[in-house]
Structure formats: C-alpha cells, structure tokens
Amino acid sequence: MKDGYIDFANSPMGAKLVNALGLPKPLPLERYQPGQPVVKGSVLVGGGGEPRLLEALASAFQRIGAQTLAHERLPQWVSVANKAGLITGRWGGNGKPGEKVKALVFDATGLTDSTQSDALYWFFHDAARSLLPCGRVIVFGRPPEQCKSPRQAAIQRALEGLTRSLGKELKKGSNAQLVYVAEGAEEQIESTLRFLISPRSAYVSAQVIRIGAPVGTAEIPGDWAKPLAGRKVLVTGASRGIGAAIAEVMAREGADVICLDVPQAKEPLEAVARKLGGKAIAMDIGAEDAPQKLVDAAKADGGWDVIVHNAGITRDKTIANMKEHLWQLVVNVNLSTQERINDAMVSAGALRRGGRIVCVSSISGIAGNMGQTNYAVSKAGVVGMVQACAPIFSEYGITINAVAPGFIETQMTAAIPFAIREAGRRMNSMSQGGQPVDVAETIAWFASPASAGITGNVVRVCGQSLIGA
Amino acid sequence: MKDGYIDFANSPMGAKLVNALGLPKPLPLERYQPGQPVVKGSVLVGGGGEPRLLEALASAFQRIGAQTLAHERLPQWVSVANKAGLITGRWGGNGKPGEKVKALVFDATGLTDSTQSDALYWFFHDAARSLLPCGRVIVFGRPPEQCKSPRQAAIQRALEGLTRSLGKELKKGSNAQLVYVAEGAEEQIESTLRFLISPRSAYVSAQVIRIGAPVGTAEIPGDWAKPLAGRKVLVTGASRGIGAAIAEVMAREGADVICLDVPQAKEPLEAVARKLGGKAIAMDIGAEDAPQKLVDAAKADGGWDVIVHNAGITRDKTIANMKEHLWQLVVNVNLSTQERINDAMVSAGALRRGGRIVCVSSISGIAGNMGQTNYAVSKAGVVGMVQACAPIFSEYGITINAVAPGFIETQMTAAIPFAIREAGRRMNSMSQGGQPVDVAETIAWFASPASAGITGNVVRVCGQSLIGA
C-alpha cells in the first residue's frame, strides 16, 4: 500500500541514483484537501477556429475563482473573460513564454478541418514548458460521431492523438484529457472542469469524456464543497480498501452514506459507517433476494440518490485450470448482480429522479488479462451494461457511468509478487500506482448533481497505464 | 528487420537458457503460402443459447474445405454441418478432451443474458489445452450497440473481455478475435472467417471486428486464391517496406497494381512495379494538385477499384522542440492528403462502385506516443476519417477501413535504439515484431470484393501489443 520507491526517488541521494541509472522518477502527486482552491495557479487558455465554449468556460472559471491568461492566438479571451467578471491577462507573445501556469485549457470546438491543426501546435508548443508540476491539460472538442462533416469528425477525433501523446510527454505528475461537449451541452461542463483541473483527478490521465444534454434536471450545488449534501448514497463493498475510501469521500462531499458489505465483514463495515455517521447493511448482494431487499431498504429510507457498485471479487486461474463455480461466482457478483439491482431499483423508483449509478469496471475488462477470463468477462460486461442502460435510465432522470481502475495501491495489490507489482506500478505515465482516494474522487464527480450531462461514460483511473489492448 | 532472438530462443541451447531465465519465448509464426489449405487442422465449434450463425458457418466451412468437430454442448452442430455437406464429428465428451485442433470457433450470438456466460466457460475450459500452436480463436457475437435489451448488450460486450484475455493466455503464436455480426449480415462472414482462421492473420490478435449489411453488392470471388483478379489497386508509398509488401500481396491476390511514391523514390518504385507487372506513378501526393492528377490517371485507366493509403511519414520531437513546418508536413501527408484524395476520387467516380479504401493508422494514433504529437494527431484523425466517411461512401458502394500497425520489422524500426526496439518487439502476446506482410494480408482482406460487409473498421496489426492507452 506504501510505495517506498517514490520517497526514495525524491530523496537527495535517491534522486541522484535514479538520474544516473535512468530509472523512473515518480513525483508525489498533489491530492485534494478540503478548503484548498480548485486550481493552485493560473490557467492558460487557447483555442482554434471559432471556438464555441469560451463563454461557458469564462463563467465557470469565474465561479471557480480561477486566474486565467490568454494565449496570443486567442486574444478574444480577454474580452470574453472580462465580460464574465473574470480577472485575466495576456500570456507571453512574440515567441516568448509568459509565467508558469497550472493548467492549459484549449477550446478546439471550432476546428472543422485537419488543415487547421496548427492551432493545436502553436498553443502546446509555446506552453508545454511552462506547465507547473502536477499540471493539467484539458482539450475541449465536439463528439466526432455528431459532427456535420467527415472533415470535422476527423480533426475532432484527431484530438485524442494529441492528448494521449501529451499525457506521455509531459511527465512530472501532469495529466491530459479530452472532453467532447455536444452542441447545446455547453452549460454542463462545470463539474467536469472542476474535477479535471483540480488535484481530484490526480491519477486520471489520457481519458476521453463525453458531455451531453442534461439527464433530468441539471443542478448547481449550493456549496461546491458539499455537492452531495442531503443525498443518500449506497456504497457496496464498503468495509475496506477502495470501497471504504469511496464512502469516506462521499461523506466528505456531504452525503449520507449507506455502507454495504458481506455479513462476514460486518465488524469493519460498521466501523466505517460509524466513523462517517452513516448506516451499515451487512448482506450478500449476490443472493437472489438481494435486489428486493435493497428496494425495500431504500423505500423505507424515502429513496436513495446514488448507487456505487464497488463490490467485486477476483478468482484468478487460466481458463483451463478454472473451476466452473469460480467462473459463475465472479460473473454473478461483478456483473449479473449489478444488472439485477439496477433494474429493480430504477423500475421501483427506489433510486430517485436525479439519481446516479456508478459502476466499477477494470483495466482487465478493457484490455483482458492472463488468468482473468472470468473477471475480464464480468468487467467488460459492466462497460456494455453502462453503455446500453444510459439511454434507458435517462428517461428516469438517472445517469450511469463507470470507473475502470488500473493499478491501485490496496491490500489486494500488496499481495502481488514483487516483480509484477513493480511493473504494474511503473508502466504508466505517473510511474506509480494510484490511491483508493483517486478512484473515489472520480466516482464523486460522476455522482455529483452537477454531472447531469455525463452518462454512459467509462473513465479509467490508471495514470495512463500503458496497458490497453 | 531480422529478429535474431526468435531463432536463438528456438535453438536447442537458446531454448534452455530462455527457460532458465524466464525470458519470452516467441514462436516463429506460421504465415500464408499460396496453395496451402485455409486452415491446417480441425476446427472445434461451440455455441451458447440459441446460436444464430450455425448455418452460415457451416456453409462457409464447407466451401473452405475445413474439417469441423462439435463440442458436446453444441450437439446440433453435427446435423447443421451434415446438411451443409460438411464432414464433421464429435469432440471429446464427459470431461475428456478430443483431438488437438487448429481453431476454436464459438457462436455467441445466442447469448442474451450474463447468466448464460457459463457456455463460454465450458467450451474454452474444455478446449484451451487442445489448441495447436499458431492456433485460432474466433468468437462471433452481436454488436452490443444494436442489441434489443441492455442484458443482451452487456453479455455481448463481455465477450471482449474473454477474447482479449485468451489472446494473452494462449501464447504459442495463437490469437483470439471477436467478430460482431449484425442481424441480417450472417451471409457476409466468409471473407473474415477465411482471414482470421488462416495464417494470414498471424500478427492480428485481440481485435474486435464488425460485419454489417453489404455495402454495394457482395461478391463471391470465383477463385478465393485470386479475389482481386481484374481489380486495379493503387498503393501509395509502395517503393519499399510495408508499401512494397502491400503491392506484392495485392498482385499475388490477382490485382493490377499501381505503385505510387515520391519522385525521389522513382527507381526503387519502378523496380517494385516491374516485378509485379504493374504501373508506377512517381508524384508527391501532398501537393495541392495531386488529387486531381490521380482522378485523371484513374479515369484514363477506366477507373480504379482499391486505394491503399500507405504513404506516411514521421518527424518526431517533443511538442516543445518541434518546428511548425514538421507538424504541418506530417498532418498534411498522413491525414489531410488522404481526405482530399478520397473526396476527389469518390465524388468523381474515379474509384468505382464496389470500391475499397484502406487507410493506415497506427498504434501511436490510438494510444498516443511521446515525441509523436504530430504523428498521433494525424493517425488518430485517420480513425475519425474512416468512421465518419463509412456511411457516406457506402452510398457510392465503397467501403473504408483502416489497419493500425504496432511494431513491424522494417528499416524504420531497425533504426530504433536497441532497448526501445526490444521493448516494442516483446511487449505483445506474440513476443515478437510483425512482418510487413502481416499488414499487407490484413489490407488484402479489407480490399476483397467479398468484404462488402466490412466498413468503418479499424483493426490493429500488433500481435496484441500491451500498449493501448
């Protein structure tokens, strides 16, 4: 759970050795602490073509309280920002860089043809060296599948090549994301901007996020520090590890948490719930009557607002050596159970309008893994479930999304043999494993009432792990 | 270009050392030789639920001349196969495996709920150890996005977790693919089945392929050994490396090849064309008048049938160190030029009905790469172009697809520093780089008149490289 190498590589002697040997140099990642500003430093803004998001960005930055700067090729930012009541200035110019910044935000929604791609070049060429450690790159575009012309779709899809390359190039704990905003969904960006530009997204990199029209009613939290105030949030598998971290972050965000785990984990489960002022439910969610029991519990509680399907198990063997009941067990707990609970809770109205379902997939479900056919089937199925349920649940005002963790430091990963563990830890753009809180922060972003524009998304929390296919 | 390690690891002494040190054990991959049978060994067939592809599979196997065997949980295969005039038998039973087989083919189109996933378990559990080296796994399913219920979509999407895991687990040069066949497109599977089950797909693994209704008219080649007979095929960048291999395979498949490269490469270009009995065009396709020149050349030739956009360049630098003209050059040659040529050739009718466009993307375009922002932008754009143009070009009876090569042994990769080259070579399920011919065979499959059901696909030729995101 403790990665001693990070401390070593950042100690005076360790740093020398690491440099001399060309070893990976993981930087301790900045993580969110309540009370901190959303972004600790200036934000440099750029754009290409006729960018469509500037007004929405300016008002979001104004509410965030960010200090922005205009790249010389986006001079109009100054007036847009001023109109929004945002303090702003100009950055560099004539080939000279300006001050160091914490984030690079590029509005690429105006690009309609690949011949305009030099707009990307100028902004990132000029600014790449001016990004502070643990910096943020966010490129906004239009969903290629909704573009009016193939030329526009091609340049918009091309943005993914840029952000994924920058994620690998920037190093020093910085990350890079691509956010596709559907036409008309410009006002839905704020929760995503706040998440991505802040240390909450520490271990999320090279992701592609789609924001669309709001599902149900978009709500602006009265207090962005407590967006889940008054919301009842069920977290399964909450007795330890990632589940306990999720419950904790949910409570920090203001939620009333309902912590669920198997009866054998009753004691640590109740300890977690007690600490967070929440409830505990000890039950086996894989059982046939579990969905109805949850519906009853939710209804008795006046309905719940968020379900986090964190509970999951592994039973690893090559397919030739695997026993049938371990295949069935894993697929049932990790996939079929989630399907049954979602359908029961949504159709019974036990998950209220404005509800959020957040599932946990896995890099193994995306890329496959040796010895994990059962697990990968279940976790790939979660992706399918999320994508297929999104349009259906939206009629109930409910979103459904998934996180797909990569190498996260837990008791489970601590038990992995050293060499394999080290490979998992280092083979990503952060040269380190993630923390359970990184998964939890991502889930909290999906769970926010302000994230009504986000459904059917699968976001990896993997530090841009090399592993993908 | 020559990977000496493969020979070493397969020599008597080398094999001992490799075993003792736990080093990767790449097996020399079987590759297609004209005159060989499509599949060298028996094919074990399984299925789950009410499989919908059995008749189509049986008649395709009959034409292929394959020997099939029925897994005990698919007893109906025997009568379906017999009806198609296919010699077949039963395989194993009562927990005992049958003979060794060259391919495992599973029809999963009948799976409609995750609770049926044990059908996958039984087939692959029983058969995994019976797959011969350089074996083939093909799972057929229904496109999740077209499924009637979220439950069906989830289990169909789950198949990807299975094939990707099997690709990593099976080793010994075997590969595993997932083919989604749209309802009503069952008769379009043959060209894909032939490609995937044969040594032609040696370096293709863990891919997801979609087959839909035929674009234009589906044609069954009179001679499957010469499916491109009478077709005129333009190959750009044909003077060497992968381009020369493409031209060669196209000619082998019966095509009249038109080899194109820059004027500086005129000599080797003409040598390639001469050897293949084709034509040579020395021109700079990046020039503004290139599309019109190509339209004129094609029209003078009575129209062309296939365009293979192989020409591509790299100019690697981190974005901070990159010169603007090298950004522009790469995006222009690799992306904008392809857009211009396609639009000109299609709208002018210079690419005939039944035509095929095959583009070359790259793993760097999919996953991003350090020092390749320009290249990754261009190659990610190619993915967008393919996906956006597919529905438009289908109105002209033309398909458009792309291959995305991983580490391919060429002069270009031979110039990579040793350590990086070795990492690229070994970090995939085949523990070796691919050959130019592997890319060429994949392109030939897309180019076939029998591949009318395949458009908008991007298929990696990467041996299931770890690198993905």
CB-nearest to B206 from A121, A128, A469 is A469
Per-chain mean pLDDT for chain B: 95
Beta strands in A228-338 (DSSP E): 232-236, 256-261, 279-282, 304-309
CA-to-CA distance for A261 and B113, rounded, in angstroms? Answer: 25
- Decide if B125 touches A, using CB distance below 8 A: yes
Mutation for B interface: A164, A314, A386, most B CBs within 10 A = A164
Burial class (CB in 10 A: 0-12, 13-18, 19+), A289: exposed
Domain-ending residue, one of B211, B242, B270: B211
Q: Is residue A10 part of a domain?
A: no
The set of residues, in sequence order, having a beta carbon less than 8 Å from that of B80 and lying 6+ positions away, is B54, B55, B58
* Same domain (yes/no): B205, B354: no
- Decide if A324 touches B, using CB distance below 8 A: yes
* Same domain (yes/no): B205, B237: no
Q: pLDDT at position A188, please?
A: 97
Check B384 against A144: CB less than 8 A apart: yes
Going by C-alpha positions, the residue among A152, A154, A142 that lies closest to residue A178 is: A142
Does the pLDDT at position A81 exceed 70? yes
- Contact list, A22 vs chain B (CB under 8 Å): none
Q: Which of residues 430-449 of B touch A (CB under 8 A)?
A: none
Q: Is residue B182 part of a domain?
A: yes
Check B377 against A117: CB less than 8 A apart: yes
CA-to-CA distance for A258 and B165, rounded, in angstroms? Answer: 35
- Contact list, A145 vs chain B (CB under 8 Å): 387
Note whether B123 and B104 are within 8 A (CB).
yes
- Decide if B59 touches A, using CB distance below 8 A: no
| Confidence tier at A89 by pLDDT (50, 70, 90) | very high
CB-nearest to A384 from B120, B156, B464 is B156
- Decide if A376 touches B, using CB distance below 8 A: yes
Note whether A119 and A87 are within 8 A (CB).
no
Q: pLDDT at position A469, please?
A: 52
What is the bridge-based pairing of β-strands B256-261 and A43-49? unpaired
Q: Is residue B218 part of a domain?
A: no
Is A369 strand, coil or helix?
coil
CB-nearest to A331 from B114, B164, B374 is B114
Alpha carbon of A275: minimum distance to chain B alpha carbons (Å)? 36
CB-nearest to A161 from B117, B328, B376 is B376
Going by C-alpha positions, the residue among A310, A308, A348, A247 that lies closest to residue A447 is: A308
Burial class (CB in 10 A: 0-12, 13-18, 19+), B53: buried
CA-to-CA distance for A302 and A282, rounded, in angstroms? Answer: 20
pLDDT digits (tens, 9 = 90+) for A172-230: 999 999 999 999 999 999 999 999 999 999 999 999 999 999 999 888 999 999 999 99
DSSP per residue over A389-420, as a string? HHHHHGGGT-EEEEEEE-SB-SHHHHTS-HHH
- Contact list, B158 vs chain A (CB under 8 Å): 335, 377-378, 380-381, 384
The mean pLDDT value for B355-375 works out to 96
Alpha carbon of B336: minimum distance to chain A alpha carbons (Å)? 6
- Decide if A160 touches B, using CB distance below 8 A: yes
- Decide if B169 touches A, using CB distance below 8 A: yes
Bridge partners for B136 per DSSP: B103, B175
Domain-ending residue, one of A144, A178, A211: A211
H or E, element range at B292: helix B290-300
- Decide if B155 touches A, using CB distance below 8 A: yes
* Phi, psi (deg, nearest 5) at residue B214: -65, 140
The set of residues, in sequence order, having a beta carbon less than 8 Å from that of B159 and lying 6+ positions away, is A377, A380, B108, B111, B120, B139, B141, B178
Q: pLDDT at position A62, please?
A: 97
pLDDT digits (tens, 9 = 90+) for B153-165: 999 999 999 999 9
**Which domain does B135 fall in, by range?**
31-211
Note whether B185 and B142 are within 8 A (CB).
no
Amino acid symbol at B261: D
Q: pLDDT at position B315, please?
A: 96
Check B387 against A322: CB less than 8 A apart: no
Does the pLDDT at position A266 exceed 80? yes
pLDDT digits (tens, 9 = 90+) for B379-411: 999 999 999 999 999 999 999 999 999 999 988
Does the pLDDT at position B143 exceed 70? yes
Task: Read off the DSSP letter of residue B117.
Answer: T
Check B161 against A465: CB less than 8 A apart: no
Alpha carbon of A252: minimum distance to chain B alpha carbons (Å)? 31
Check B380 against A159: CB less than 8 A apart: yes
CA-to-CA distance for A418 and A338, rounded, in angstroms? Answer: 33
- Decide if B166 touches A, using CB distance below 8 A: yes
Higher pLDDT: B258 or A468? It is B258
CB-nearest to A385 from B154, B327, B328 is B154
Question: pTM value?
Answer: 0.96
Q: Is residue B8 part of a domain?
A: no
The mean pLDDT value for A36-54 works out to 97
* Same domain (yes/no): A238, A373: yes
In angstroms, how far is the first alpha carbon of chain A from the final one?
Answer: 26
Does the pLDDT at position A4 exceed 90? no
The mean pLDDT value for B214-223 works out to 92
Check B165 against A372: CB less than 8 A apart: yes
* Same domain (yes/no): A91, A159: yes
pLDDT digits (tens, 9 = 90+) for A296-305: 999 999 999 9
The set of residues, in sequence order, having a beta carbon less than 8 Å from that of B345 and lying 6+ positions away, is B291, B294, B295, B298, B304, B307, B351
Q: pLDDT at position B443, please?
A: 98
Percentage of residues of chain B with pLDDT beyond 70: 99
pLDDT digits (tens, 9 = 90+) for A395-421: 999 999 999 999 999 887 888 778 778
* Phi, psi (deg, nearest 5) at residue B65: 80, 30
Does the pLDDT at position B145 exceed 90? yes
CATH classification of the domain holding A318:
3.40.50.720
The sign of the dihedral angle between the CA atoms of B80, B83, B85, B88 is positive
Note whether B265 and B240 are within 8 A (CB).
yes
Note whether B46 and B106 are within 8 A (CB).
yes
The mean pLDDT value for A51-71 works out to 97
CA-to-CA distance for B347 and B298, rounded, in angstroms? Answer: 13
Residue of A nearest to B129 (CA): A320
Which of A325-339, A365-379, B85-99 has the weakest average pLDDT? Answer: B85-99
Is A84 strand, coil or helix?
coil
* Same domain (yes/no): B196, B69: yes
pLDDT digits (tens, 9 = 90+) for A371-382: 999 999 999 999
CA-to-CA distance for B122 and B53, rounded, in angstroms? Answer: 19
- Decide if B129 touches A, using CB distance below 8 A: yes
In this predicted complex, what is the ipTM? Answer: 0.96
Check B154 against A128: CB less than 8 A apart: no
Bridge partners for B131 per DSSP: B101
Out of A5, A32, A375, A396, the active site residue is A375
Q: Is residue A16 part of a domain?
A: no
Q: Which of residues 384-403 of A touch B (CB under 8 A)?
A: 384-385, 387-389, 392
pLDDT digits (tens, 9 = 90+) for B64-94: 999 999 999 999 999 999 999 998 999 998 8
The set of residues, in sequence order, having a beta carbon less than 8 Å from that of B365 and lying 6+ positions away, is A161, B375, B376, B378, B379, B380, B381, B382, B383, B404
Q: What's the number of domains chain B is made of? A: 2
Q: What length is written for chain A? A: 469
DSSP per residue over B358-396, as a string? EEE--HHHHH--TTBHHHHHHHHHHHHHHHHHHHHHGGG
Residue of B nearest to A462 (CA): B469
Q: Which of residues 266-305 of A touch B (CB under 8 A)?
A: none
* Same domain (yes/no): A171, A302: no
- Contact list, B146 vs chain A (CB under 8 Å): none
Domain-ending residue, one of A211, A246, A263: A211
The mean pLDDT value for A443-467 works out to 96
Percentage of residues of chain A with pLDDT beyond 70: 99
Check A161 against B373: CB less than 8 A apart: yes
The mean pLDDT value for A147-171 works out to 97
The set of residues, in sequence order, having a beta carbon less than 8 Å from that of B417 and lying 6+ positions away, is none
Mutation for B interface: A126, A142, A157, most B CBs within 10 A = A157
Residue of A nearest to B461 (CA): A469
CA-to-CA distance for A364 and A370, rounded, in angstroms? Answer: 9
Residue B41, number of CB atoms within 10 A of its CB: 18
| Confidence tier at B469 by pLDDT (50, 70, 90) | low
CA-to-CA distance for A120 and A147, rounded, in angstroms? Answer: 19
* Same domain (yes/no): B202, B249: no
**Which residues of B are tagged catalytic?**
375
Alpha carbon of A127: minimum distance to chain B alpha carbons (Å)? 8
Check B368 against A206: CB less than 8 A apart: yes
CB-nearest to A384 from B158, B384, B385 is B158
Residue of A nearest to B325 (CA): A118
* Same domain (yes/no): B60, B143: yes
Q: Is residue A60 part of a domain?
A: yes
pLDDT digits (tens, 9 = 90+) for A129-144: 999 999 999 999 999 9
Residues B312-343: b if buried by 16+ CB within 10 A, e if exposed: bbbbbebbbebeeebbbbbbbbbbbbbbbbbb
Note whether A245 and A237 are within 8 A (CB).
no
- Specify the residue for token string 């032609």: B200
Q: pLDDT at position B106, please?
A: 98
Tokens (6 digits) for A414? 């601590």
* Phi, psi (deg, nearest 5) at residue A365: -75, -25
Note whether A370 and A315 are within 8 A (CB).
no
- Contact list, A162 vs chain B (CB under 8 Å): 368, 373, 376-377, 380
CA-to-CA distance for A65 and A81, rounded, in angstroms? Answer: 12
* Same domain (yes/no): B393, B258: yes
pLDDT digits (tens, 9 = 90+) for B234-248: 999 999 999 999 999
Going by C-alpha positions, the residue among B401, B384, B385, B408 that lies closest to residue B461 is: B408
Does the pLDDT at position A18 exceed 80? no
Q: Is A362 left (phi over 0), alpha (psi -120 to 50) or beta?
A: beta
* Same domain (yes/no): A107, A253: no
Check A165 against B376: CB less than 8 A apart: yes
pLDDT digits (tens, 9 = 90+) for B299-327: 999 999 999 999 999 999 999 999 999 99
pLDDT digits (tens, 9 = 90+) for B255-266: 999 999 999 999
Note whether B53 and B45 are within 8 A (CB).
no
Check B165 against A370: CB less than 8 A apart: yes
Q: Is residue A183 part of a domain?
A: yes
Note whether A72 and A92 are within 8 A (CB).
yes
Check B150 against A392: CB less than 8 A apart: yes
Tokens (6 digits) for A145? 């599948």
CA-to-CA distance for A118 and B174, rounded, in angstroms? Answer: 43
- Decide if A328 touches B, using CB distance below 8 A: yes
Tokens (6 digits) for A429? 């753009």
Tokens (6 digits) for B440? 């060429």
* Same domain (yes/no): A291, A415: yes
CA-to-CA distance for B336 and B327, rounded, in angstroms? Answer: 12
Q: Is residue B185 part of a domain?
A: yes
* Same domain (yes/no): B264, B133: no
Task: Read off the DSSP letter of residue B456.
Answer: S
Q: pLDDT at position A218, please?
A: 84
What is the bridge-based pairing of β-strands B399-405 and B351-360? parallel
Check A468 against B464: CB less than 8 A apart: no
CB-nearest to A469 from B166, B370, B460 is B460
Number of inter-chain CB pairs under 8 A, A vs B: 287
Q: Which of residues 105-124 of B touch A (CB under 8 A)?
A: 113-115, 117-118, 120-122, 124
